[in-house]
Amino acid sequence: MTACKLQRRTFLAGTALVTMLPAAASHATPEAMAAAIKEVVGNATVREGKVTLDVPPLIENGSTVPLTVSVESPMSEADHVKAIHVFNEKNPQPYVFDATLGPASGKAVVGTRIKLGDSQRIVAIAVTSKGEFWSGSADVIVTLAACLEEMT
Amino acid sequence: MANVLINVPKTARRGEVIEIKAMILHPMETGFRPGTSGRIIPRNIIERFTATWNGTEVFSMAMSPAIAANPFVSFFAVARESGTIALRWTGDEGFAVEERVAITVA
């Protein structure tokens, strides 16, 4: 009897998991983002902090979203940010951009405009010349998504 | 001749950190959208943006379809010497544009 109950419980848990899976497989998932981040980071530890994402929390139009990533760093010859990688969870692909900087940058700040297909979390990872990885993230709500049909 | 907007100060003090802003006219077609015919519009994006100061690379960026149409980029650079800043965009379908601006460092 107990075995039967357990089976029923595991079966229910299993169906719950299946229904939670995203319907559109063509979109990136948090797992896809994690995989994309792993490609950049490898087995190194990523610490949270130093990276700030400046993005509006509520976005009316996902086709152009202003995003500024700033990293606290002296940007000296000995200690500077080498690269900034930005990832997303729910666009068709998990990549947004990879910027390469150096001591000639003076300030580790990069601004651009991006597209967002859904409300999601954006993650930025900074790689320093010392080989450290720092991360920052921002949650945004998108009311009108990008990647819609062509306008007629 | 592509339409490009570049905002760089004309003069700077030596050692000053200046902001460089650039925007280029480009559809940044993702390759994920169906067109009016119902077929997917093929991808056409700018893949790479590079900034060089007197031939030395100071900033570069690899773009993805998640960059908005008419890509805008802003970044910073230390004014070390007078000369030219060259901005270069390259991408799908043989897209390649280079623009140069002069800067005087006092």
- Percentage of chain A beyond pLDDT 70 is 79
Chain B contact residues (CB < 8 Å to A): 17-18, 21, 28, 30, 32-36, 41, 53, 56-69, 71-78, 80
Mean pLDDT of A21-50: 78
Task: Name, in order, each residue with C-beta under 8 angstroms of B39's C-beta and a sequence gap of 6 or more.
Answer: none
Burial tier of A132 (Cβ tally within 10 Å: 0-12, 13-18, 19+): middle
Domains, chain B = 4-33+40-105 (2.60.40.10)
Tell me, what's the pLDDT at A34?
87
In a domain, A114, yes or no: yes
- Interface probe for B, chosen from A115, A116, A121 (most Cβ of B below 10 Å), is A115
In a domain, A44, yes or no: yes
Tell me, what's the pLDDT at A11?
57
Inter-chain residue contact A110 with B56, CB threshold 8 Å = no
Domain containing A48 equals: 27-142
Query: How many structural domains are present in chain A?
Result: 1
Q: What is the ipTM of this complex?
A: 0.89
In a domain, A137, yes or no: yes
Tell me, what's the pLDDT at B37?
86
Where residue A122 sits, what CATH number does that domain have? 2.60.40.2470
Task: Name, in order, each residue with C-beta under 8 angstroms of A138's C-beta and a sequence gap of 6 or more.
Answer: A53, A55, A57, A121, A122
Task: Name, in order, each residue with C-beta under 8 angstroms of A70's C-beta and a sequence gap of 6 or more.
Answer: A51, A52, A54, A107, A108, A109, A110
Q: How confident is residue A150, by pLDDT bands cut at 50, 70 and 90?
A: low
In a domain, A102, yes or no: yes
Lowest mean pLDDT among A65-69, A102-106, A123-127, B2-6: B2-6
d(CA B106, CA B103): 10
Tell me, what's the pLDDT at B58?
94
In a domain, A123, yes or no: yes
In a domain, A39, yes or no: yes
Cα separation of the two ends of chain A: 63
Inter-chain residue contact A150 with B35, CB threshold 8 Å = yes
Residue A22 reports pLDDT greater than 50:
no
In a domain, A5, yes or no: no
Q: Which residues pair with A34 in a beta bridge?
A: none
What region, left, alpha or beta, does residue A14 occupy, with left being phi > 0 and alpha being psi -120 to 50 degrees? alpha
Inter-chain residue contact B78 with A105, CB threshold 8 Å = yes
Residue ranges of chain B whose pLDDT lies below 50 = 1
Q: How confident is residue A115, by pLDDT bands cut at 50, 70 and 90?
A: very high
- The residue of chain A with its CA nearest to that of B70 is A113
Tell me, what's the pLDDT at A25?
45
Tell me, what's the pLDDT at A112?
96
In a domain, A112, yes or no: yes
Inter-chain residue contact A149 with B33, CB threshold 8 Å = yes
Q: How confident is residue A24, by pLDDT bands cut at 50, 70 and 90?
A: very low
Mean pLDDT of A107-111: 95
Q: How confident is residue A146, by pLDDT bands cut at 50, 70 and 90?
A: confident
Mean pLDDT of A105-133: 93
Mean pLDDT of A54-82: 92
Instruction: Work out the mean pLDDT of chain A and round it to a whole number.
Output: 83
- The residue of chain B with its CA nearest to that of A88 is B66
Tell me, what's the pLDDT at A40?
86
- The residue of chain A with its CA nearest to that of B21 is A111
